[in-house]
């Protein structure tokens, strides 16, 4: 079931092929779909057994059925998360748009499948525009909850924490056990002149911020040569459980720490995956290849490639790496990043396939899982976290939401145009 791309005068083209239930004209455009769902929901309303069966098929494997009231509570948690997701997206919009795009409280407060379905076909009182928006918001809430259920019950998502733990164990054995020295280091970043990069000692020019790093010197002999590289920071992320690095202007020194994304959602790991599915036009969570990421920060360009070569050796050899983007040696690779990426962003990125052992996966045979590796310099990293720089991770994520998600969640013909220029 799909819908054709839709556009309105002055609006951007929105392709609903992957997500037809976010098309505000779906039931007008396809009368068969409208009649089908109206009939199905009418039958579910009249027949408790059919309704209970629907909930069990949505939430439970065959043979593991639960009473309707149990399933209703589970489904209500997904519906509540769908509302929270929309509210957090709304908070990214300019203040004027937040007021214009305010969601219908009747839909927000409703976490019942049948009542939401009724709003789609019988939106109730209000002017024509309010009723149209209520219809769409009920339709949107049910569909976002459906995607969240799909994400939560995907094996890649369920196995993600185990994959992350295995990657950390592998690096502990193959990389961090070869640390020869370790020390604290503070780099000073000039807010007034970010192009200067990081300096070792604070000077009189500009407003300087100190960023504290825990540096590890890795020294290891491998076939083909010896490696000696200082790693200033390392972290892993399971599909953006975190929202980037914490930055609040006004402090004199900072630690490289992260904050939780979508902390109010019961299933906060699913929200970022949901956003990517909308932006990329993906309706299958298994099509997302960067569920797990690993980021390294080093001193400069030479250290970037030295560490990349070492990781090739310790993580299985050069044949297990793919999709390399090296903006240090090949700036023209920038077109392979997301369109919302700043032109000033500079990193080394590639995917590595790691063979997960059968005893750890509780399966009969081992299987591959993918990790997105990213290596940045200290200068480049601080430009991504600094809120006043266009390359900042926060602004990058905001651009992604505004340009890739907002047109689906807040169709222009129902909510009006939002100014998508950020910086």
Q: Which of 127, 109, 107 is nearest to 117 (CA)?
A: 107
Whole-prediction pTM value? 0.79
Give the model's pLDDT for residue 209: 76
User: Taking residues 190-207, what's their average pLDDT?
Assistant: 59
The mean predicted confidence, pLDDT, of the chain is 83
Structure confidence by residue, pLDDT tens digits, 47-80: 899 999 999 999 999 999 999 999 999 999 999 9
pLDDT at 334 over 80: no
How does residue 166 score in pLDDT terms, banded at 50, 70 and 90? very high
Least confident of 141-145, 148-152, 415-419: 415-419
Nearest CA-CA partner of 382 in 356, 352, 345:
345
Confidence of residue 188 (pLDDT cuts 50, 70, 90): confident
Q: What is the pLDDT of residue 291?
A: 85
pLDDT at 153 over 60: yes
Q: Which residue has the higher pLDDT, 197 or 32?
A: 32
Q: What is the average pLDDT across 38-54?
A: 88
Angle at CA of residue 57, ends 54 and 58, nearest 5°: 85
Could you tell me the CA-to-CA distances from 364 to 140, 159, 342, 359, 369 in Å, in that order? 40, 15, 44, 8, 16
Please check the confidence at residue 300 and state whether its pLDDT lies above 50: yes
Q: CA 84 → CA 72, 113, 207, 343, 348, distances in Å?
A: 18, 17, 37, 32, 34
State the average pLDDT over residues 87-116. Answer: 90
When mean pLDDT is compared across 30-34, 74-78, 214-218, 228-232, the lowest value belongs to: 30-34
State mean pLDDT over 220-230: 90
Query: Tell me, what's the pLDDT at 391?
Result: 47
Residue 200: the pLDDT is: 61
């Amino acid at each position: 079931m799909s819908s054709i791309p839709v556009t309105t005068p002055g609006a951007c083209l929105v392709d609903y092929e992957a997500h037809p239930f976010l098309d505000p004209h779906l039931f007008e455009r396809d009368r068969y779909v409208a009649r089908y769902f109206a009939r199905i929901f009418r039958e579910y309303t009249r027949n408790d057994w059919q309704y209970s069966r629907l909930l069990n098929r949505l939430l439970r494997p065959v043979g593991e059925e639960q009473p309707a009231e149990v399933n209703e509570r589970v489904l209500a948690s997904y519906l509540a998360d769908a509302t929270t997701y929309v509210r957090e997206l709304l908070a990214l919009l300019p203040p004027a748009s937040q007021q214009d795009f305010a969601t219908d409280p009747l839909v927000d407060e409703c976490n019942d499948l049948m009542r939401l379905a009724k709003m789609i076909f019988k939106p109730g009182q209000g002017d024509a525009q309010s009723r149209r928006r209520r219809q769409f918001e009920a339709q949107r809430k049910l569909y976002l909850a459906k995607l969240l259920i799909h994400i939560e019950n995907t094996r890649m998502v369920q196995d993600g924490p185990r994959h992350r733990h295995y990657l950390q164990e592998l690096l502990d054995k193959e990389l961090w056990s070869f640390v020869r020295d370790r020390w604290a280091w503070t780099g000073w970043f000039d807010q007034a002149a970010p192009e200067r990069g990081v300096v070792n000692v604070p000077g009189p020019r500009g407003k300087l911020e100190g960023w504290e790093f825990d540096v590890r010197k890795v020294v290891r002999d491998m076939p083909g040569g010896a490696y000696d590289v200082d790693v200033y920071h390392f972290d892993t992320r399971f599909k953006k459980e975190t929202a980037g690095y914490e930055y609040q202007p006004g402090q004199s020194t900072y630690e490289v720490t992260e904050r939780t994304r979508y902390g109010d959602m019961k299933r906060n790991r699913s929200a970022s995956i949901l956003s990517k599915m909308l932006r990329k036009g993906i309706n299958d969570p298994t099509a997302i290849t960067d569920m797990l990421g690993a980021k390294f920060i080093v001193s400069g360009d030479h250290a970037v490639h030295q560490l990349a070569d070492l990781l090739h050796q310790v993580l299985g050899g050069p044949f297990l790496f793919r999709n390399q983007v090296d903006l240090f040696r090949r700036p023209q690779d920038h077109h392979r990043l997301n369109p919302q990426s700043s032109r000033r962003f500079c990193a080394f990125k590639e995917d590595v396939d790691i063979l997960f052992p059968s005893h750890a996966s509780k399966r009969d045979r081992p299987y591959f899982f993918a990790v997105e590796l990213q290596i940045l310099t200290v200068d480049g990293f601080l430009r991504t976290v600094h809120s006043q720089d266009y390359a900042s991770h926060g602004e990058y994520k905001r651009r992604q939401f505004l340009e890739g998600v907002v047109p689906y969640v807040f169709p222009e013909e129902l909510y009006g145009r939002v100014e998508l220029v950020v910086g």
